[in-house]
Amino acid sequence: MGGSNPPLFTYIRGNSLTEHMYMKHWVMDYETLTNCFAAVFIDYKEEEQRTFVVHKSKNDFYALWNFLHECKENKEWHISFNGLAFDSQITEYILQKGERMLELPGDEIAKFIYRKAQNVIERSNNNEFSEYPEWKLSIGQIDLYKLNHWDNAAKRSSLKWIEYSMDWYNVQEMPIHHTAVIETQDEIDSIISYCINDVLATKKIYNISKSQIALRKTLTDEYNVNLYSASEPRISKELFALFLSDALDIKKAELKSLRTKRGMISVKDIILDYVKFDRKEFQNLLEKFKSLIIDASNTKGAFKYTMTHKGVKTDFGFGGVHGATKAGVYKSQDGMIIMTSDVTSFYPNLAIRNKWSPAHLPKKIFCDQYEWFFEERKKIPKKDPKNYVFKIILNSTYGLSNDENSFLYDPEFTMRITMNGQLSLMMLYEMLSTGIPGSIPLMQNTDGLEMMIPETYKDKYLEICAEWEKITQLQLEHDQYDKMIIGDVNNYIAVLSEKELDKSKWEELKSEKPHYIFKERDGKYYYQATKCKGRFEFTDLALHKNKSFLVIPKGIYNYFVHDVVPEQYIKTNKNIFDFCGGAKIKGDWYFMETCFRNNQRYDTMLQHIVRYYVSNRGCKIIKYNKTDKREIQLEAGKWMQTVFNVYEEKPWADFNINEDYYLQKMYKEIEHITKAKQKSQLSLF
Assess whether pLDDT exceeds 60 at residue 3.
no
Question: What's the full length of the chain, in residues?
Answer: 685
Is 589 inside a domain boundary?
yes
Tally of domains in the chain: 2
Any domain includes 463: no
**Residues 296-315: tens digit of each pLDDT:** 888 776 789 999 999 999 99
Identify the pLDDT of residue 22.
Answer: 57
Q: How far apart are CA 57 and CA 413, in angstroms?
A: 62
Q: Is residue 472 part of a domain?
A: no
Element (DSSP H or E) covering residue 200: helix 185-208
The tally of CA atoms less than 13 A away on the side-chain side of residue 389 is 25
Pairing of strands 600-605, 631-633: unpaired
Point out the domain boundary residue: 229, 256, 289.
Answer: 229
Domain closes at, from 200, 229, 258: 229
Digit-coded pLDDT (tens) for 197-218: 999 999 999 999 999 999 999 8
- The answer to whether 433 and 439 are in contact (CB under 8 A) is yes
Does residue 317 fall inside a structural domain?
no
Among residues 315, 261, 262, the alpha carbon closest in space to that of 293 is found at 262
Q: Which amino acid is at 203?
A: K
Is position 216 within any domain? yes
What pLDDT score does 676 carry?
Answer: 53
Confidence check: pLDDT of 384 > 90: no
Would you say 666 and 566 are in contact if contact means Cβ atoms under 8 Å apart? yes
Mean pLDDT of the chain: 92
Mean pLDDT of 83-111: 96
In a domain, 603, yes or no: yes
CB-based contact 608:174 (threshold 8 Å): no
475 in a domain, yes or no? no
pLDDT in tens, 570-585: 999 999 999 999 999 9
Share of the chain above pLDDT 70, in %: 95
User: 292 - beta bridge partners?
Assistant: none
Reported as a single tens digit per residue, the pLDDT across 450-485 is 999 999 999 999 999 999 999 999 999 999 999 999
Quick one: DSSP state of residue 646? B
Give the percent of the chain with pLDDT over 90. Answer: 86
* Predicted pLDDT of residue 551: 98
**Domain end (from 204, 229, 254):** 229
pLDDT digits (tens, 9 = 90+) for 586-612: 899 999 999 998 889 999 999 999 999
Range of the domain at 128: 8-229
CATH code, domain with 192: 3.30.420
**Mean pLDDT, residues 632-655:** 96
Instruction: Name the pLDDT band for 370 (thresholds 50, 70, 90).
Output: very high
Residue 513 lies in a domain: no
pLDDT in tens, 140-170: 999 999 999 999 999 999 999 999 999 999 9
